[in-house]
Structure 1
Amino acid sequence: MPDPGLSPLQSSLPAAAARFGAHVLAEALAHGRGSAEPAGAAAALPSPPTLPFGRAPGAQEVPVGVPVPDGGPSPAMERILRGPGGLGTAGLSLARRPEPPAPGAPDAEARPEPAAGSRPIPGLYHHPVPEPDPARVEEVSRRIKRWAVDEVQAFPPEWEDQFDGFSVSRYMVACHPDAPTVDHLMVAARLMVAENVVDDAYCEDGATPADVGGRLLLAHTALDPVHTTGEYQPAWEESLSSDAARRSYRSAMDYFVQVATPAQADRFRHDMARLHMGYLAEAAWDETEYLPEVWEYLAMRQFNNFRPCPTITDTVGGYELPADLHAVPAMQRVIALAGNATTISNDLYSYMKELKSPGRHLNLPVVIAEKEGLSDKEAYLKAIEVHNDLMHEFEDAAAALAVACPDPRVARFLKGVAAWVDGNHYWHASNTYRYTLPDFW
C-alpha cells in the first residue's frame, strides 16, 4: 500500500473517474464560496461546473466538529477548486478549465445516456453512468469465476447460471471507476461474492432463523480471527474450510488485507459486524413473526445494507482516507446515507423477485403497505419517495462535508462513494436476469 501522503492520487487513475460523483462535489463548490464576494473575487477562481441538481446545503447543515473556512475560499479550498496537482491527476479537476477540450475529447460534464437494455424504475432519483469498460469487465469476470470455482468452491454446480447472471464483474467495474488495476477490482469482487454466499447459504436458501446467529458468528471469525489457546486454535482454523461461506470469507479477506492498511481492514471488519447485526435482527423478526414499524424497518436496513461496499472505496482506489477523517461524524453520516439509499433501491428492484419467492420477505414497500394501510402500488410509490429523500440527504451531506473539510483525500473519497452509489443503481437497473419491475405505471 503506497504512503497516501498529502496527495494520494494514483498516476494511473483513469480520467473517467472525474465524471463519477462530480454531481456531489460540484454542489459543494458552487455553494462553498458564498454569494457576497468582494469585487474581483469571481475572476480569481474558475467557475464551478453546472449543477445537475438544485438542492443546496444550508448553513445549519454544516457538520458539527468539522473546521469551516471563514470568509472567502481558504488555500485548501482554492486547491480543491483548481483540482489536485501532480502527474496523472488532470482528470480529477473539480472546476471547469478555461482552455477548450482537445478535439474529440469526451465532455466530462456531459450526462451519459442510460445503459443499453437498462430499465430504471420510473421516478427513482439516480444518475446514469456510462457502460463499464468491457475489457475490464471481461477480465474480472474470468478471474472471479476461476476464484469462485477453483479456490473456494463458492457454489454448487447447479448454481452456475445464477452466479453468471449476477454479473459481479459489470457491477464492480461500474462501482469503482477509479480502481488503478484489475487486481484492485478483484478485491471488491471477491468480497461481494463472499457476502452474497453468506447471505444465500445462511439467511436465505433453506436456513432457519434460529440457526442464523451461531452460523454468522462463526463465519465472522473468518474476517476477524479468533485468538485462543494452542489447544483449541487448530479446531477453529480447520472450521474455516468447512463450508462455502467461511471459505469465501476467509479467502476474500486474505486478499483484502494484502492491499489494505490495518486501519482499512479494521474499518471493514466493523462494518461487516454491522451487517451481521442487521441479519440477526431480521432473523429474529422472522422467528417471532414480528412486523416492524416503518421506522424500525429503516433502522434495521441501516445495518443490513450495502455499507461494507462503499466503505472500501479508498482501498479499491489504491489510497487511504485516514482513520481520523473517516471517523468524523459528518463522514459517517455520508456513508450511512449512501448505504441506506442504495439498500432501499435494492428493495425496490428486488420487489418482484421476492414476491415470487416462498414465505414473506420484508422489504420497504411490503412494510409500508401493511403498516400504513396502503395498496401495493401506493406503498411502492411511497418507497420510491423515501429512496429519493435519502439520496437528496446523501448528496446534501456530502456537499456540506466537502466544503467544511477541504482535504483532497476527503474530496476523493466522497467522489468514490458517489460513484459507488451510481454504479450500484446501474447494475440493478441493467440486470434484467435478476430483476423485473411491477406493473405500476
Structure 2
Amino acid sequence: MPDPGPSPLQSSLPAAAARFGAHGHGRGIEAVGCVRPALFAPPAQASAPVTTPSPALERVLRGPSGLGAAGLSLARREEPPAPEEEPPAAGRPIPGLYYHPVPEPDPVRVEELSHRIKAWAVDEVELYPPEWEDQFDGFSVGRYMVACHPDAPTIDHLMLATRLMVAENVVDDCYCEDHGGSPVGLGGRLLLAHTALDPLHTTTEYQPEWAESLHSDAPRRAYRSAMEYFAQEATASQADRFRHDMARLHLGYLAEAAWAETDYVPQVWEYLSMRQFNNFRPCPTITDTVGGYELPADLHAQPAMQRVIALAGNATTIVNDLYSYTKELASPGRHLNLPVVIAEREGCSVREAYLKAVEVHNDLMHAFEAAAADLAAACPVPSVLRFLRGVAAWVDGNHHWHQTNTYRYSLPDFW
C-alpha cells in the first residue's frame, strides 16, 4: 500500500467508510475493512502458530527512510539504547530510560520557526514582558516543534503547533505555576480562557463584553490567536477534537490544583489518572493537521486509537516529570511529580522512587508501541498508518527536546 505522503489537508477516509457515514450501514473501523483489536487481550498461547507480518505492518513498523525518519519508527526494542561513553554536550539521556534517538532537528527550519514564533509572541499577542525574554528563548520551542513534527510540509504548518504549544505553556505559567499562578480561583480563570478556544454563544447584549475579555490577559490573547490560526487550516472535526483534548487538559489542571489546596498527596494510581488528563495529549493529537492531512473522525474516535494516543500522552508526560525533577525540587512549595508521589506513598528513598518512575515510563512506552503495532496490523489504512508514525515521531521528538534542553533541565545524581 503506497505511503500517502504530504498532501493538502483532506479526509482520506476510504470510500467504504464514506458510504457507511452516508447510509448508516455498519459501525466504526469494521466499515473500512479493519479488524477491531482487543484492548486487553490475554497473552497468546504458546502453541499459537507463528504468522508472517503483513507488508503493511512491516512498513509501519519500519517507517520511512531519509533525513529525520528515525523518529517515525514503531518498531519495538527490548532494551534501551546503550549509553555513550561520553555524554553529548547538549545533555545526556536518563540512564535506563527507554527511548528512540532522533537526528538533530533541521537548523534552517529551527531558525525560521524560532524567528516567526517570537514575532507572533511579541508583536501579535504581547505575550510576555521584556524580562521574560530569556525564558522564552531558553524554552527553544522552535527546536521542540521541528523535532516533533518531521513530516510537516511547511513552516506554516509547524506554526500551527508552535503557537498552540506556546499558548498552553503561558496558561500553565500564568494561571497555575511560575508567573503568578495559584490553585485558588483556577477554575474560573481556566473556564474563561477556554472560551477563547470554544467560543461563547450568547445574547447580543453580552457578546461584546465576552469578545473584549479575550484580549484582557496574555493567556487569553494567546489562546484566541493560536486557535484562530489553527481553525483556518484544520477541518471542523480536527478543531473540535483539539477543543475536546484541551478540556481534558484543563480538567487535569483542576485536579492537581484541588490536591494542592487540600495538601493531599494522591496515591500513585490517582496521580497517574490525573496525568492522563494533565499531559501532552493535545500536542500529538493534532499531528495530522500539522502534517497537512486528516485522520477521519470515525477512525480517530476508535477505542484502539484512543488507547494509542492516551499511552503516548502518558509516556511523554512522565518524561517531563523525570527531566524536570530537579527543577521542581528547587522551586518553592511541593510540586507533585511521579517520583515525589512514589516516595511518599510507597515509603521508599527518593532515589528508589525516581528509578521506579523510570520503570513506569518504560512500561508505558512498551504499551504504547504494542498498541500502535496492533492497530497498524488490524487497520492498515494509509491515514491510520501515517497518523501512528506521526504520534511516534512526537513521542521521540518530545524526549529529544527534554534531553537536550540544558537551559531548563538537569538530572539528579542518582547513578
1:109–1:126 CA distance, 2 compared to 1 (3 A): closer
**1:2 paired to 2:9:** yes
Task: Give distance in 2, aligned partners of 1:419 and 1:286.
Answer: 34
Opposite residue 408 of structure 1, the aligned amino acid is: P
SS of the aligned residue for 1:395 comes to: helix
Work out whether residues 369 and 376 of structure 1, in 8 Å CA contact, stay in contact via their aligned partners in 2: yes
Per-residue deviation, 1:393: 0.5
**1:122 paired to 2:95:** yes
Partner of 1:14 in structure 2? none
SS of the aligned residue for 1:268 comes to: helix
Opposite residue 168 of structure 2, the aligned amino acid is: E
1:93–1:364 CA distance, 2 compared to 1 (3 A): closer
After superposing on structure 2, the runs of 4+ consecutive aligned residues of structure 1 that deviate more than 3 Å are: 4-7, 57-62, 71-74, 92-96, 105-116
1:224–1:120 CA distance, 2 compared to 1 (3 A): same
**1:172 paired to 2:179:** no
Partner of 2:387 in structure 1? 413
Task: Give distance in 1, aligned partners of 2:314 and 2:58.
Answer: 32
Alignment of 1:201-350 (within 5 A): 201-204=174-177, 205-350=179-324
SS of the aligned residue for 2:184 comes to: helix
Work out whether residues 115 and 131 of structure 1, in 8 Å CA contact, stay in contact via their aligned partners in 2: no
Partner of 2:157 in structure 1? 184
Opposite residue 380 of structure 1, the aligned amino acid is: Y
Partner of 1:159 in structure 2? 132
Task: Give distance in 2, aligned partners of 1:273 and 1:107.
Answer: 32
Task: Give distance in 2, aligned partners of 1:133 and 1:167.
Answer: 13
Deviation digits for residues 335-374 of structure 1 (CA, Å, limit 9, x no counterpart) = 0000000000100000000000000000000000011111
Partner of 1:387 in structure 2? 361
Partner of 1:35 in structure 2? none
Work out whether residues 115 and 130 of structure 1, in 8 Å CA contact, stay in contact via their aligned partners in 2: no
Per-residue deviation, 1:435: 0.1
Per-residue deviation, 1:132: 0.5
Task: Give distance in 2, aligned partners of 1:229 and 1:142.
Answer: 40
Per-residue deviation, 1:209: 1.1
**1:141 paired to 2:148:** no
Task: Give distance in 2, aligned partners of 1:366 and 1:108.
Answer: 35
Work out whether residues 161 and 290 of structure 2, in 8 Å CA contact, stay in contact via their aligned partners in 1: yes
Alignment of 1:63-102 (within 5 A): 78=55, 80=56, 94=62
Task: Give distance in 2, aligned partners of 1:385 and 1:231.
Answer: 56
SS of the aligned residue for 1:236 comes to: helix
Partner of 1:351 in structure 2? 325
Work out whether residues 170 and 427 of structure 1, in 8 Å CA contact, stay in contact via their aligned partners in 2: yes
Partner of 1:16 in structure 2? none
TM-score, normalised by the number of residues in structure 2: 0.83
Alignment of 1:358-369 (within 5 A): 358-369=332-343
Q: Which runs of 5+ in 1 are unaligned?
A: 8-31, 33-56, 63-70, 84-91
Opposite residue 297 of structure 2, the aligned amino acid is: A
Partner of 2:24 in structure 1? none
Per-residue deviation, 1:380: 0.4
1:313–1:236 CA distance, 2 compared to 1 (3 A): same
Per-residue deviation, 1:107: 11
- Aligned identity (percent) is 74
Q: 2:349 aligns with which of 375, 393, 399?
A: 375
RMSD: 2.8
Task: Give distance in 2, aligned partners of 1:201 and 1:140.
Answer: 24
Per-residue deviation, 1:119: 1.1
Work out whether residues 368 and 374 of structure 1, in 8 Å CA contact, stay in contact via their aligned partners in 2: yes
Per-residue deviation, 1:230: 0.2
SS of the aligned residue for 2:105 comes to: coil
1:59–1:393 CA distance, 2 compared to 1 (3 A): same
Per-residue deviation, 1:300: 0.2
Task: Give distance in 2, aligned partners of 1:349 and 1:208.
Answer: 23
TM-score, normalised by the number of residues in structure 1: 0.78
1:276–1:61 CA distance, 2 compared to 1 (3 A): farther
